[in-house]
Amino acid sequence: MQGLNLIEAKTIHFRNLGVSAELKIPHIGWNSIVGDPSGSLFAGCEDSLFYFVHSYAVVCSNESDVLCKTSYGVTFHSGIQKGNIIGLQFHPEKSHKDGLKILKNFAAI
């Protein structure tokens, strides 16, 4: 299925990215992100954990579109941005106080 082609990327199942059979898929639970904590979206969320529920990961063609990365057997792009388009792999609405900070930061952008 083709998306809107607004961001050059592919969506790939974790097994096809090389996640070992020893790790459960879907990836469910709390995990950290690695990105620019000084960026306006993640302000106040340094060293935070976010809630993930997914079996696929987005792989951006352009590293400049990557906001943050996460590791689960492999390192994947867990946040992307191009212009005013932002996508997050984790669920801010399920990520307690740190997710609420992201939602407030998003509303302020």
Q: 1 versus 60: which is more confidently predicted?
A: 60
* pTM score over 0.85: yes
Residue 56: the pLDDT is: 96
Task: Please report, for the chain, the start and end positions of each structural domain, with discontinuous segments joined by +.
Answer: 9-108
Q: How far apart are the first and last CA of the chain?
A: 31
17, 62 Cβ separation under 8 angstroms = no
44, 100 Cβ separation under 8 angstroms = no
pLDDT of 73 strictly over 80 = yes
Rounded to whole angstroms, the Cα distance separating 44 from 54 reads 25
Class of domain 9-108: alpha beta
Asked whether the CA dihedral 7, 62, 45, 96 is positive or negative, the reply is: positive
Peptide bond into 92 cis (omega under 30): no
